A and B are shown apart, each in its own frame.
Chain A
Amino acid sequence: MDDSAKQVLRKIIRRIPSNKLQNILSKWEHLSKKQFRSLEFTQAKWLLCDNLLSLCEENDLSMKHVTELEMIYRIENPAQGSWNVCQLIDPSEEAVTVDSLTFKDSFKAHLKHLISHVSVKMKKHEDNAIWIRIAWGDNFTQPNHLNPTYVVHHLQTPYVFVSGLTAKHKPFLHQALIPSTHYGGLKDVHLSGRCLTALRDLLMRQYKQAFPVKHPRLLQEKSPVPSHPNIETEHAKHTEKRLQMAAEAFGEGILPKLETAVYKLETRFRENGMPGRREEPFRGVVKFSSSNLLESLKNCVSSGMASAPVTPLLSSITQKGRNYFVITDKGPGVSHTQGRKI
């Protein structure tokens, strides 16, 4: 085991919380049962790490095995760092028939053809997602295993989730992904967040949606209603309407967990009775953040802190599956033009 592999292993162990360490190591199939039992998980982490290193030496493990450990940890705990979503476009006929084995081989071959020093590791997760770990190097340096890029792709879907990708390596990844999935191109969908499953659920509509109906059925009351019976009757209709509208815009039940939404405003400032009226756009950036943004926005609407009906700007988050928008006055209504991520 060389020094760099040792260094990477130490870093990985340091990153994994002590209470998760035993579980993660048990899934790593490079220690014998006896060796695994010899590890004391109540020990201080550095001591445990030293023991682990000597076991690795014994088994003659290398960087390849060490990165596998990191992948196991990352797959179990994907909410680290921000995930960006890309969408594959223009599928060819073969796109629906790609299987995981040909995808793996073809992706590796394409990437290695583009850049010489790169280390790729792939793993198929239980939910049919293919996890790809890429450590980048360049012509003169060995792959950097400390800051790898993670890519998650569900075959037969157009979505690709990427974390830890620098602008420099972006074209390489795109050029390898497009041919190996048999699509024609890849575009940014302007959606990002920490929770990978939430992004996936949002895009694949795997949350409970509510649709506009003519005779809205009674939604389950979630907020406590004022106690006085008269106030209740007075407000019941409004509350019901608000809840219905909130659910239509953001969905029912547990909503996908997004942290932020960003709107770049380039619209005219035209407030009545205000002096600042002019033709040029009034530039600004609005950022919403919350531990669960969709829940917060839904609550704003249902509690009356937002005026109904819900503006298309906010409902676009779920309806278009994006959380970055550029808003301009051009065209009829509000247009959502493409914009660079900021």
Chain B
Amino acid sequence: MEARVSAITTPRNETAPHRRTKSYGFSRRSLGVELTSHFGCTPGQLTAVRIPTSRGIPKPRNLTEQVDPEHVALIVKKEWKLSYVTPLYQFRHTQLQSYSKQLASFLVAEKQQGVAVEVGQELGFKVVFTAALGLAETEDDAETVLIQIQSKSAFAAEGETAKVVWSGWLSCVSGDVEYLKALPPDFTCLPLFGTSGAESLTTLVMSWFERTFDCYFGPLGINSTNLEWLAALWTGCHSDTNIRYLKLAWTVPAQPPLDVSYTVHPQDAWELWDSIRQESGLRDTVDIEEVNCFIRGLESHFFRHFRIYLSAGTLTKVATSLGSAHKDGKIRIASSDMMTSVLALLTECALLKMPI
């Protein structure tokens, strides 16, 4: 057929009516997660990692009974920059001490720009790898690993505690069972990597992991759907712990950019969330529809006053006193009670983001 483009009619969308290739394979990315790889190009396993449309009600879990409180204290309160990491090849939880020495020597060597250093000499840096046992939720989850880099000053007095200059952790909480079971036995899956400290050290640690365990790191953003889950998850906790406030922040792409923050009174936010939950019948799971309804409700209350479409912008941050999350992949977990629920959600993000 000849394509006749008249000057009077609006030009028609001239794409082919159906693309068959779309009918399979891509569905798991359908909820707004960026497409990071094409199935055809990846030789790995086909897995059925999907974005869940409903989750169990997060129950506050008293971690201090199962996990060393010192380990918990290392994770809470700090702000972490998140990355995803592909499964680690031949990583052993029993070898942590040797990894400490290797990474320390690697750091020194890199700092001295290629000069060879004897293993175990640890000039300048001390690295501590620890396993935070008990954070895992299922038996397929690998135990969380904490890493600390301490800087040793050459002039430090005897007995002076070294200063922690960088910390990070690798974690897997309630990872997708089917995916974890499908991994070959030599791989350990710790897909979530949080770092806090100098960017240059983060890069060095990543490159050491990439060389040693044949893995790959990539930045992990938190998309608006997941930010909304977190907002609902934290708001739901208000009946147990006072969340003090619920703050949502958007950026609207005006010229110059407009930042909008909406801080809701905790009790009112909780009552709205609770009424949505009541409406859909109290079940053990929270549906994505309920989360949507909650956020859309807040947005339309905002719209009624200011007549600005927040949907034109992006949700950039959600925060309560229990923690905060930023779309660029920054997270702060202020309360150990909800730590496993948050880590489970982030583990899921990391698994989805990972090239298969």
Contacts and interface: CB of A to CB of B under 8 A. Distances in A.
Contacts of B268: 269, 282-284
Contacts of B4: none
B10 A267 contact: no
B336 to A, nearest CB: 28
A284 B10 CA distance: 45
A276 B305 contact: no
A70 interface: no
A14 interface: no
Main secondary structure on B side of the interface with A: mixed
B19 interface: no
A231 B312 contact: no
Contacts of A303: 254
Contact of B297 (A231, A274, A287, A314): A274
Given A275-B278, A276-B275, A311 B258 contact: no
B305 A291 contact: no
B261 A283 contact: no
Nearest to A308: B307
Contact of A286 (B8, B271, B272, B305): B305
Interface in A195-253: 228-231
Given A305-B308, A311-B306, A311-B307, A271 B297 contact: yes
Interface stretch (A34-42, A146-154, A292-300): A292-300
A297 B258 contact: yes
Contact of B259 (A269, A289, A295, A305): A289
A286 B302 CA distance: 8
B302 A275 contact: no
B190 interface: no
Nearest to B302: A286
A283 B264 contact: yes
Q: Which of A278, A305, A313, A327 lies at the interface centre, i.e. has the most chain B CB atoms within 10 A of its CB?
A: A305
Contacts of B2: none
A128 interface: no
Contacts of A290: 254, 256-259
Nearest to B308: A306
B258 A275 contact: no
B256 A305 contact: no
Given A230-B8, A284-B262, A305-B312, A313 B252 contact: no
A311 B256 contact: no
A265 interface: yes
B276 A276 contact: yes
A286 B297 contact: no
B260 A286 contact: yes
Nearest to B264: A284
A285 interface: yes
B92 interface: no
B305 A297 contact: no
B254 A305 contact: yes
Nearest to B272: A276
Contacts of B306: 263, 286, 306, 311, 313-314
A249 B264 CA distance: 28
A230 B7 CA distance: 8
B293 interface: yes
Contact of B308 (A230, A276, A278, A300): A300
Given A230-B8, A311-B305, A286 B261 contact: yes
B279 A275 contact: yes
A289 B263 CA distance: 14
Interface in B1-15: 7-11
B296 to A, nearest CB: 8
B300 interface: yes
A123 to B, nearest CB: 34
B301 A306 contact: no
Contacts of B11: 228
Contacts of A306: 306-309
A305 B260 contact: no
A286 B261 CA distance: 6
Nearest to B311: A305
B92 to A, nearest CB: 50
Given A228-B11, A305-B252, A306-B308, A275 B276 contact: yes
Given A275-B279, A276-B297, A305-B312, A296 B258 contact: yes
A304 to B, nearest CB: 8
Contacts of A296: 252, 254-258
A296 to B, nearest CB: 4
B259 A271 contact: no
A307 interface: yes
Contacts of B163: none
Contacts of A274: 276, 293, 297, 300
Q: Which of A271, A276, A288 lies at the interface centre, i.e. has the most chain B CB atoms within 10 A of its CB?
A: A276
Contacts of B259: 288-290
A31 interface: no
Contacts of A284: 262-265, 268
A287 B260 contact: yes
Nearest to A300: B254
A297 B308 CA distance: 9
A288 B261 CA distance: 7
Interface string A300-342: 1001011110110110000000000001000000000000000
A231 B257 CA distance: 27
Contact of B300 (A271, A285, A307): A271
A283 B305 contact: no
Contact of B256 (A265, A287, A291): A291
A55 to B, nearest CB: 39
5 contacts: A269-B297, A283-B265, A283-B268, A296-B257, A306-B307
Interface of A: 228-231, 263, 265, 267, 269, 271, 274-276, 278, 282-293, 295-297, 299-300, 303, 305-308, 310-311, 313-314, 327
Given A284-B262, A287-B261, A295-B256, 15 more contacts: A274-B276, A274-B293, A274-B297, A275-B272, A275-B278, A286-B263, A292-B256, A299-B258, A300-B254, A305-B308, A305-B313, A306-B308, A306-B309, A313-B305, A327-B305
